[in-house]
Structure 1
């Protein structure tokens, strides 16, 4: 991935406080949307929308896509790279 693509994805995540929070909440763990919502005190619809947009950019993935309930999400290696870049900037 070149720097232009990397910075594009960083900008995509940073443009939404919810996306940043959801990505940070998952980090190197796996979580269900309900866990993320409770942890962040965030509306379930916002968590779901944030996960959907992060998934569209291949920053998170669902481990059990066919489940209608109890879906579990993890950060992809790309998602972790983007998150680490964001955390370096914030610190």
Structure 2
């Protein structure tokens, strides 16, 4: 991944609190949308949208069969891990 591509991804993630919170939670380990929702206090609709956006950007991946409708477990990709590490290292997380 080039530096420009990585910074584009960093910018994409930090432009949404929902993407930040979702990626931050997945950086800790795999989780279901409902678990992320419970732990972050964000609505399941926001989490689902953030997961889809992060997945479209190849920052997270679905760890179970695409056919599963319940119990879908997501994890962070290597690219997602690099982006999250950059966000943390550069202190780009807004304080709540």
Query: What band does the TM-score fall into relative to the shorter chain?
Result: over 0.9
Aligned residues between the structures: 91
State how 1:1-91 maps to structure 2 within 5 Å: 1-64=1-64, 65-90=66-91
CA RMSD of the aligned region, Å?
A: 1.1
The normalised TM-score by structure 2 is: 0.91
The normalised TM-score by structure 1 is: 0.96
Taking the aligned partners of 1:55 and 1:34, their CA distance within structure 2 comes to 17
Taking the aligned partners of 1:45 and 1:36, their CA distance within structure 2 comes to 11
Taking the aligned partners of 1:49 and 1:69, their CA distance within structure 2 comes to 16
Runs of 4+, deviation exceeding 3 Å: none
Consecutive unaligned residues in structure 1, runs of 5 or more: none
